[in-house]
Amino acid sequence: MEYSGIILLPILMIFAAVSLNAGYANAAVFLPPEDKPLVRHYYKKLNTCANVEPFVRHQVKLYWDKDKTITAKLLKLLYADCMVNGCDASILLTGPNTERNSSKNARLDGYLLIDKIKTVLEIRCPGAVSCSDILNLAVRDAVHYAGAPSYPVFLGRRDGLESKAEWIDYPSPSMSWEEGLAYFESKNLDVQDFVTLLGAHTMGQAHCSSFYDRLYNFKGTGKPDPSMKRFVLVSLRSQCPKNSITDSAVYFTPEYGSNYTFSNKFYTKILAHESLLRVDQQLSYGGDTGELVNEYANSFEQFRRGFALSINRMGGLKVLTGKNGQIRKDCKFINKNNPKIN
């Protein structure tokens, strides 16, 4: 991928030159930092669970065939895990004052599928595969079924031993592109990751509360966001009435709606000033962010490749490896608190 003026990514690059016709990304994939090595085919190389990937893929396909929303749900779950305290499956832990039980995560879903996969793997490969690796693999497979490339996933993560609601620092959906980029950079991601990962909004829904200010009280003016097209404003106001007690959900890309199709429509809607969230629309106003929006809007293939790269980058944030953390027997509990083994 060529991006003039874009910040160079600092991590060692290798190339996965596999056929796009087979559903894989002919794109650059980035290795994790050398002090926290993740490995391609980790469980196969250790001979601890050689078939982990087909096991996970099969369970995801069974679920996806019945419920297409699982793709968006798992993407949100991975984001909530990795962007808070690193990819350590802390979002899966239950209990008082955990991330999972926070009101900020009340709408997260997808836990049942992860639990199902873990149950299967504990039967076939007991004590071998971490919940964190399961989540990363499940996301890869779910987005592939929705139309994304089936990118390589580096493995070897271990699971965290704690989860705290106070760690949660999600940014506002009404933030500027500068604030959004600063948040991603604080997580050791860059402008390409920022623009690309927001492209996950091409699937799923946003609740009215996340863009209500744009419809009725933009920046405290008592008026709508002047950048919104009139027909978009009228349509959204009809779905999100003023002072409604119901926080309805609106599709990011109503053209696809409940099909939950992975596409670059998110970026074409930004160029047309038809975005739901302010942070999404803001991408068109930055130099580098605007350049990437244009590129992705004009090339679905570039977006597919960029997505494979950036979601791998996010999946490598602050991972636990070696003797750090543990391999949970049940993703909901650290092992010493697991009622089934204590």
Q: Which residues are annotated as a binding site for heme b?
A: 201
For the annotated binding site, the residues are: 81, 84, 86, 88, 90, 99, 171, 201-202
- Whole-angstrom distance between the N-terminal and C-terminal Cα of the chain? 51
Range list of H helices, the chain? 42-45, 52-66, 70-85, 111-124, 131-146, 177-186, 191-198, 212-216, 230-239, 265-271, 278-282, 287-298, 300-314
Which amino acid is present at 227? S
Residue 73 near residue 110 (C-beta atoms within 8 A): yes
Q: How far is CA 109 from the centre of its chain?
A: 13
Cα 115 → chain centroid:
18
From the annotation, which residues make up the binding site for Ca(2+)? Answer: 81, 84, 86, 88, 90, 99, 202
Q: Quote the CA–CA distance of 314 and 33 in Å, as a whole number.
A: 12
The upper half-sphere exposure of residue 187, i.e. CA atoms within 13 Å in the direction of its Cβ, equals: 30
Contact 133, 155 (CB under 8 A): yes
Q: Which residues are annotated as a binding site for substrate?
A: 171
Tell me the C-alpha distance between 215 and 204, whole Å: 20
Rounded Cα gap, residues 248 and 270, in angstroms: 22
Which ranges of 229-314 would DSSP assign to H, the alpha helix?
A: 230-239, 265-271, 278-282, 287-298, 300-314
The residue among 170, 235, 242, 249 whose CA lies nearest residue 207 is 249
Select from 194, 190, 150, 188 the least CA-distant residue to 304. Answer: 150
Q: Is the dihedral of CA 56, 89, 150, 69 positive or negative?
A: positive
